[in-house]
Structure 1
Amino acid sequence: MIKEALQYIAGLANTRTEAIGDQIFSTQPVHLVRQARAEAIKVRSLSGMVEYLKSEFDGKTKLLIQVVSPTEVHAFGTFNRDLDRNYLITASALLPEFRYGNFYESEDFNIKLQSGFVPSHDRAAVLALVGNIREDAVKTVGDDGVSQSVTARTGVATVAPVPVPNPVTLQPFRTFVEVEQPESEFIFRIKQGPTCALFEADGGAWKLEAMYRIKNYLLLALEEKVNSGEIVIIA
């Protein structure tokens, strides 16, 4: 065993490379010893990222900030000797949960709508309808599957068929709280129970708008460093 180990070590000492055509081959397997990299700091807000970058806590260096998605932003430096990038800090948004396309019991839906959406005229209209709907009557009118009406209280002691508003324009908390939440359209549906659901209806366009707003926020917050060329921001 010892003899074989010594022969292996001796073989490594004689490792050489040879070019055959356009390719380079080695006489022994070799492995890259990668340059050490620091672990990126993780924050949950854009303001936390801005404070860190302004402090120059880890020194002054040229950085690229990439808005990866409405909920994720990375700040990193250039390549090291192994062509790996040095990530300094990442920001991940802390958001309330709302499952689009899933039906909620009316009480749960009411709570999530109030806690996870920016106040607006359409939000108030949906909340008013959900809060007054009768438990025993949800019906669909028309054959296109779009229009609905429900039996709801319309006064102190009266009930009547009420049309369900569709589509509705709402502002869920879907990106960092430091920027204005993008508006988008939703299909609001009610089923027997009653249960309620929202279906996204803008094809994901809100994501591009959110990323654009994050970029603008960072450009303004880090204006001095951007103007001096220390920081470049892309989205």
Structure 2
Amino acid sequence: MYSNESDASAIIAAARENQVVEIDGVSYGTGNFGRIKNIPSFETIELTSLEAFANFITEEPQAVLDEPIVVINENHVVRLLNTPKQENLKRDNLATVRNSLESFNFNHYMSIEDMIIQLQTKFIITDTVKRLLTILSSVSTTQDISIKDNGTSQSTNIKRGISAASLEEVELPNIVKLQPIRIFTECDQVESRFLFRIKQKDEIPYVSLMDVDPTEWKIKASKSILNKMRELGILLPIYY
């Protein structure tokens, strides 16, 4: 309840003074309202492949009337962004596509069985992968396994023939070149160098792939994504 009619009249008068006006495309409130923040015009479309991303750009002409750009971030998430708004210089995120595949867990030791599965499912099968699979499937998992490490290379026992008693010491590869599936499957996967290591814990062998090119591969991967988008007919400016 208002204390008197004069208080109510003052509030009504103040409300009348606060009007919304537009200047150069920016909304302002008169009186004490000040500048009015615009609500984003677009809801982000989430996509799952670069082909779907290209189709969205082709089939949604209204989305590309405002001279948008494509940005590939360091995690290789691809975004379609429109021209910055005048009032806040921010871009709307029109569409996003990200790789949902789980990549290999580098720099961690795992059992030989797990490594064999991972090599077969999360890497492009090359001669190097085949060689690693042959070695790993022949490594002795008996208690008499021996691992030698001179700082630059390693060697271990592998089985020859069907008898576990027939063991032979073999030098293991040190640096290997592999193509892990780390970006969209539509793209050419980047070949990188990895340090192959083996160790023993509680008389059980464990193996690991250490990433020695953690930065370089990201740059090459972004270029591979860019090349694929050009191949799909995306002619917008692309930045990474």
Correspondence for 1:189? 197
Higher mean C-alpha deviation, range 3-12 or range 92-101? 3-12
User: Per-residue CA shift, 1:31-71, capped at 9, x if unaligned?
Assistant: 64323332211112111101111112645412211122353
Of 83-92 and 58-67, more deviation after overlay is shown by 58-67
CA offset at residue 8 of structure 1? Answer: 7.9
Deviation of the 1:151 alpha carbon: 0.6
Match of 1:19 in 2: none
Superposed CA RMSD in Å reads: 2.7
Q: Residue 147 in 1 paired to residue 158 in 2?
A: no
Relative distance call for 1:149 and 1:33 in structure 2 (3 A) is same
Structure number with the higher strand fraction is 1
Secondary structure of 1:210's aligned partner: helix
Would the aligned equivalents of 1:138 and 1:190 in 2 still touch at CA under 8 Å?
no
Preserved CA contact (<8 Å) 2:83 2:91: yes
Cross-structure match for 2:40: 36
Cα 1:5–1:212 change in 2 (3 A) is: farther
1:114 matched to which residue of 2? 120
Identity of aligned residues (%): 27
* Cα 1:5/1:167, change in 2 over 3 Å: farther
2:53 to 46, 49, 54: 49
Structure with greater Cα Rg: 2
Counterpart in the other structure of 2:227? 216
Number of aligned residue pairs: 217
TM-score normalised per structure 2: 0.79
User: 1:58 & 1:221 partners in 2: Cα distance?
Assistant: 20
- Measure the CA separation in 2 of the matches of 1:55 and 1:31: 36
Name 1:79's counterpart in structure 2. Answer: 84
- Determine which of 128, 133, 142 is the counterpart of 2:134: 128
Secondary structure of 1:194's partner?
strand
* Equivalent-residue separation in structure 2 for 1:220 and 1:209 (angstroms): 17
8 Å CA contact retained: 2:78, 2:98: yes
Structure 1: gaps (5+ residues): 15-26
> What amino acid is aligned across from residue 233 of structure 1 in structure 2?
I
2:106 to 77, 100, 104: 100
Over residues 185-210 of structure 1, what are the superposed CA-to-partner deviations in whole Å (9 max), with x where a residue is unaligned? 10011111111111001242111111
Return the alpha-carbon distance in structure 1 between the equivalents of residues 104 and 42 of structure 2.
35
Check if 1:168 corresponds to 2:176.
yes
- Which stretch shows the higher mean deviation, 4-13 or 147-156? 4-13
Q: Aligned partners of 1:161 and 1:100: how far apart in 2? A: 26
Residue 94 (structure 2) aligned to one of 83, 88, 94: 88
Which structure has the higher relative contact order (CA within 8 Å, separation 6+)? Answer: 1
Aligned mates of 2:126, 2:51 — CA distance in 1: 26
Contact 1:122 1:169 in 2 (8 A): yes
Instruction: State the partner residue of 1:198.
Output: 209
Which secondary structure state, in structure 2, belongs to the residue aligned with residue 33 of structure 1? coil
Q: Is the 8 A contact 1:165 1:188 kept in 2?
A: yes
Partner of 2:27: none
Tell me, what secondary structure is at the counterpart of 1:69? coil
After the TM superposition, which segments of 4 or more aligned residues of structure 1 sit over 3 Å from their partners?
1-14, 27-32, 57-60
